[in-house]
C-alpha cells in the first residue's frame, strides 16, 4: 500500500512554506484547525516583521494577533508562538532543538508538530499523526487505535524507520486528495484492492475521479 501511495504521490512533501526550522515550527503550530494554504498566506508578513525568535518573543501582542487573525484562534496562537519563541531564546539560545523531548516542552508543540519539524527541518525520522494519518491508518487496517501516540507506535512497528517521514506525507496527501473523511473516492484509489474499507465511498471510477482534489498533481489528468 505504501508503494502504491509513493507511485501516486511522488512529490509528496510538507505543504507549509518555510526556509528555516524556526519558520516551520511556527507555521506548524499555526496550522492547527486551519489549512496550510491559509497559514502560507500569513507567514511571509509574519516572518518579515519578526524574523527571529528574539523578534517574535518581543513582538507587540496586538500587532501579532492582527497578522494572525486569518488563521483562526489567533489570540491563542499568538500566545503559543510568542511563548515558544521566548522559550527558544531563554533555554535554547534562539535555536530550535532537534530532540523530540525538548520540542514538546515548547508552548503549543505536541508530538505531531515535533515530528513535522524533526522530519522536514532536520531530516530525522518521525511519524506525523494528524487527522488524516489517524483516519486513513484505521481505514487501511494498520491500527485500531484512536489515541495519536498509540497510532504512531503501531505504524512505527509496521514500517522501517527510513519510511516514517515520507509515509506521513503520502498518507496526508492521500487523505487530502482522495480518501476524504465524508466521501472517499474509492473508485479512484491506488490502494483500493488492498484496502479493507473499500466501498465506504464512491466506487464508480468516473464519479470517484471527479471527487479527487488536485487531479493533475495526482496523475489523474
Catalytic residue among 112, 147, 153, 204: 112
For the beta carbon of residue 220, count every other beta carbon within 10 angstroms.
16
Measured distance CA(54)–CA(103) in Å, rounded: 17
Verify whether residue 130 is a known catalytic residue.
yes
Q: Do 117 and 136 contact (CB within 8 A), yes or no? A: no
Among 128, 117, 129, which residue's Cα sits nearest to residue 25?
117
Decide: helix, strand or coil at residue 138: helix
Catalytic residue among 77, 120, 130, 154: 130
Verify whether residue 213 is a known catalytic residue.
no
Q: Which residues, 6+ apart, have CB-to-CB distance to 196 below 8 Å?
A: 139, 140, 141
Q: Do 8 and 1 contact (CB within 8 A), yes or no? A: no
Helices within 70-147 (DSSP H only): 74-92, 100-103, 111-121, 131-139
The cell for 70 is: 486569518
Measured distance CA(129)–CA(16) in Å, rounded: 16
What residues act catalytically? Answer: 112, 130
Amino acid at each position: 500500500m505504501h508503494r502504491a501511495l509513493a507511485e501516486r504521490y511522488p512529490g509528496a512533501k510538507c505543504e507549509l512554506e518555510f526556509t528555516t526550522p524556526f519558520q516551520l515550527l511556527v507555521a506548524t503550530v499555526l496550522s492547527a484547525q486551519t489549512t496550510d494554504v491559509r497559514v502560507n498566506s500569513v507567514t511571509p508578513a509574519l516572518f518579515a516583521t519578526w524574523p527571529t525568535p528574539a523578534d517574535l518573543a518581543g513582538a507587540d501582542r496586538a500587532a501579532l494577533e492582527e497578522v494572525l487573525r486569518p488563521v483562526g484562534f489567533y489570540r491563542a496562537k499568538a500566545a503559543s508562538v510568542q511563548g515558544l519563541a521566548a522559550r527558544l531564546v531563554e533555554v535554547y539560545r534562539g535555536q530550535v532543538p532537534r530532540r523530540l523531548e525538548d520540542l514538546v516542552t515548547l508552548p503549543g508543540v505536541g508530538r505531531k508538530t515535533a515530528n513535522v519539524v524533526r522530519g522536514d527541518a532536520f531530516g530525522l525520522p518521525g511519524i506525523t499523526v494528524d487527522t488524516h494519518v489517524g483516519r486513513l491508518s484505521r481505514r487501511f487496517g494498520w491500527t485500531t487505535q484512536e489515541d495519536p501516540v498509540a497510532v504512531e507506535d503501531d505504524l512505527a512497528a509496521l514500517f522501517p524507520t527510513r519510511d516514517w517521514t515520507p509515509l506521513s506525507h503520502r498518507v496526508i496527501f492521500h487523505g487530502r486528495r482522495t480518501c476524504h473523511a465524508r466521501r472517499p473516492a474509492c473508485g479512484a484509489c491506488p490502494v483500493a484492492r488492498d484496502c479493507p474499507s473499500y466501498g465506504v465511498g464512491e466506487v464508480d471510477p468516473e464519479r470517484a475521479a471527479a471527487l479527487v482534489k488536485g487531479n493533475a498533481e495526482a496523475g489523474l489528468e
